[in-house]
Structure 1
Amino acid sequence: MSGGLDSSVLTHVLAGLRRELGIGLSAVHVHHGLVAGSEAWSDTCSDLCAALDVPLAVCRVQVDRAHSGGLEAAAREVRRTALLSGLDGGVLALAHHRDDQAETILFRALRGTGVKGLAGMHDAMDVGVGSCIWRPLLDVPRAVLHAYAVRYGLRWVDDPSNTDTTFSRNFLRNDILPQLEGRFTGASANLARLGRLAGEAELLLEELADSDLDRLRMAGTTQMRRPLALELSSARLRNVLRRLLAQAGVTMPEEGLLREVERQFRENGAASGSRIRLGEVVLCVYRERWWLEAAAAPVAVSGSRLWNGEPSLPWAGGVLSFATEYGQGLAAGLLMTGVPCRVQSRVAGVRMRLHAGSPSRSLKNLWQEAGIPPWLRDAVPMLWVGERLAWIAGVGVAAEFQCPPGEAGIQPRWSVFA
């Protein structure tokens, strides 16, 4: 709690309901020291919590004044981190109300946000491992909270920085929203309603993207079929890209960049091998497949590494794992003969036979047939048993090392190809 009107009312309401709801209740005051006189705010919180028999923890934090998003963003970020730390499966109740929601939606709209941003704040959201954020006052106007505080004689502090209209949110809250309410009755309520409708639209877009991804994705991989993606409308393809980026936890790019990525993706020449940058990731295209991967492409590992039966090895920015599977992969008996096994990258002049009785193939031909993109080839791991090549990631097992049906086998996998 901050000690302000909103959090004081929320604490008072929850304290009155905890027995009926059967919940434990405690409060946290985050002290950032950015405002003169804020040392006394914790005293206001302490007085209210003592009167309500609510345990209070005071958390002192440092705000990065050089934060790229500005002081407001830095303070919100450090406050959120402090409030979520130690939550451990609990519920964090926040006192955002309907006026806050209207302000948030208007602020994001003016910055050119999409549907997701227009949805505003969610009344409940998971934050990992059974923990969640809950905003029980999100549909309640601030005027109602004020009336409640007066009725019950609550004391609260007013943050003087909230009147500083050099901050964009304060400008909207103090100057713009009151004028909108004066001209358009119910403006804040209507903005909040817009947020709810945008939230529904966001869910529908996510469901559509998931349906498209189910159709595009190749079984057992994270790669997708490019010909089917090219059949999608531009809006639908960009919706799929946004969903993939959100699932990867990547910062959403601006609309102009997303449109440019789509344009390059649709070019005929993209199929020869393209890596299109999207911030922290790249959209990769090779032949009839496409996928997202880390922006830094794997690089060849110099030299070789002995494999002594370990379940996994780090390799070129990924993990090379070895799973026991019957009737698949490498015949385990051929690997346990005492002959040293090693892993290394590309070796000049390599040839391998994938099927008994068929001719051996050059490494270049094997990679082309398997669809290994050019930028990965120098890093692809190969398993050697003595001086014999037994397996190439993404290509398969050499014919003479393939596991017979029903016998114990070792299935290597390189996570880069997952």
Structure 2
Amino acid sequence: MPSIDLVSAVASQWRQLPAVPARLRVGLSGGLDSTVLLHVLAALREQLGFELSAVHINHGLISGSAAWAAPCRQLCDGLGVPLLVREVVVRRDHPGGIEAAAREARHAALQEDADGALLVLAHHRDDQAETVLFRALRGAGVRGAGGMRVLDARRAIWRPLLDVPRRDLKAYAEEHALVWVEDPSNQDLRFSRNFLRLEVLPRIEARQVGASAGLARTGRLCAEAAALLDELADLDLASMGSTEARRFSRAAAVSLTPPRLRNALRRALDRAGALMPDEDRLCEAERQLRLDTVAAGWRLVLGTHALCVYRDDWWIELADLPSIPAAVPWDGRMPVLPWARGLVRFDPAVGQGLLAAAVMGACCEVRGRMGGERLRLRPDGPGRSLKNLLQEAAVPAWYRPLLPMLWVDGRLAWVAGVGIAAEFLCPSGEPGVVPGWSATD
């Protein structure tokens, strides 16, 4: 493909974007693909009117990779493109392996402090074919076989070269005398993707011309099918009559057929940013979700996240529960206290919450549950065990130790999710303080 066609192809992809971005940030590895992408976008920036920058990530996993920043800087200086170089530390204990850990660390660093810039990556048609084949061999299903998208709106990623074969990128680079870095790890056949790219796909292409294009097309069709499944899952989740944000009705869920319920579970996990469990684990989660016994309280860890049920609610949350904090003193004036991956707030009010005069100047502290606490919520009512009140408030057992409680001069004044003790209630017209706890997943 002549260079003008490649430039025109990227410009055409630009015009198909639903919203015109003011800033583009190229993920620049220094290899052939990203070098060509940056060069093409630099040629288009004045015509299309966007700001262009680049970011280079060094994860330190390949010997000598620290030196790759130098040719990246030389290229950017020659094109007048600002370059940011970042170093990242890759988790060695990632559940998806070292490659998944490096990919996550790289993407996080690429998008850090993006300030609204659209991240542009240089994946091309051969990458797409490799991805589709790799995921299909792993039994990834329609979603996985869908491969990469030209525009990933959720993660603000654009791949304008996804329909372009790598040979055209190389022809462009040679025509413009571009210099790029060769990553030696790309030739290591111990990695499955390299084996597919270097050994399998060339043999398939030699036997059946156009096989890579066919695989890429299969990826696009699977992506369309996956989008339809997502739409169906969204409809099903919306019909589950959530009692609060991100909680869903279990009764409505178990009325679905098994494939449809698993589809909804996948969508809920994806929305929560979870790593997708394998098919057997998801089938087991769906089976247990249907058991009547889970209504008493059930929590199944699925990798990074957990599927939870309490009574008729089900939801997705982080697998790791926060640790129970030590007691935190409160002087009656601080508006915010950190608590268990969330915040306890004390907002001033009139005629609401705690009577300000009862807490100002008193010895106050926020602490977790220790057992045996009692609370009287109505002036004319009896004191009741906190255990019973928490059950009535539909608080799952694993949350109860995390709930912040305010003690004033040794007396229990407030429990998050339950209420304020009657003796501390603020009368109408009096200055008050409204406590609240905003927990985060």
Same fold (TM over 0.5): yes
Residue 139 (structure 1) aligned to one of 151, 163, 173: 163
User: Any stretches of 5+ residues in structure 1 without a counterpart?
Assistant: none
Q: Could you say what secondary structure the match of 1:120 adopts? A: coil
Contact 1:180 1:187 survives alignment (8 Å): yes
Would you say the 8 A contact 1:42–1:58 is kept in 2? no
The question of 1:122 aligning with 2:122 is answered: no
Aligned: 1:391 with 2:418 = no
Q: Contact conserved, 1:29 with 1:56, CA < 8 A, in 2?
A: no
Task: For 1:35-54, list aligned pairs within 5 A.
Answer: 53-54=79-80
Show the counterpart of 2:136: 109
Structure 2: segments with no counterpart, 5+ residues: 1-27
Distance 1:40 1:293, change over 3 A: closer
Question: In 2, distance between residues paired with 1:290 and 1:375?
Answer: 14
Equivalent in the alignment of 1:98: 125
Are residues 75 and 231 of structure 1, via their aligned partners in 2, closer, same or farther at CA, if it must alter by over 3 Å? closer
Cross-structure match for 1:247: 271
Distance 1:305 1:234, change over 3 A: farther
* Residue in 1 that maps onto 2:49: 22
Q: CA deviation at 1:59?
A: 4.7
The normalised TM-score by structure 2 is 0.76
* 1:216 paired to 2:243: no
For 2:215, the equivalent position in structure 1 comes to 191
Does residue 6 (structure 1) correspond to residue 8 (structure 2)? The answer is no
Q: Which residue of 1 aligns with 2:434?
A: 411
Aligned to 1:176: 200
Cα distance in 2 between the residues matched to 1:345 and 1:79:
38
Question: Do the aligned partners of 1:281 and 1:294 also contact (CA within 8 Å) in 2?
Answer: yes
CA distance in 1: counterparts of 2:335 and 2:42, whole angstroms: 53
Q: CA deviation at 1:375?
A: 3.2
Counterpart selection for 2:394 from 353, 368, 371: 371
Q: Which amino acid aligns with 2:223?
A: G
Letter in 2 for 1:393: A
- How does 1:68-83 map onto structure 2 within 5 Å? 80=107, 83=110
One-letter code aligned to 2:303: G
Q: Which deviates more from structure 2 when the two are superposed, residues 266-275 or residues 393-402?
A: 393-402
- Cα deviations across residues 137-179 of structure 1 (Å, max 9, x unaligned)? 1111223334444555556565565444333222212222233
Read off the aligned partner of 2:258 and give its amino acid letter: S
Equivalent position SS for 2:398:
helix
Q: Name the % identity.
A: 51
Give distance in 2, aligned partners of 1:245 and 1:33.
30
Query: Secondary structure of the equivalent of 1:285?
Result: strand
In the alignment, the residues of structure 1 paired with residue 180 and residue 167 of structure 2 have an alpha-carbon distance, to the nearest angstrom, of 15
Counterpart in the other structure of 1:382: 405
Deviation at 1:215, TM superposition (A): 3.8
Q: CA deviation at 1:99?
A: 1.4
Determine the C-alpha separation between the residues in 2 that align with 1:48 and 1:416: 46
SS of the residue aligned with 1:343?
strand
Shift of 1:259: 1.8
Matched, 1:230 2:254: yes
Instruction: Label 1:206 to 1:7 Cα distance change in 2 as closer, same or farther (>3 A).
Output: same
Q: Helix, strand or coil: the match of 2:256?
A: coil
CA RMSD of aligned residues (A): 4.0
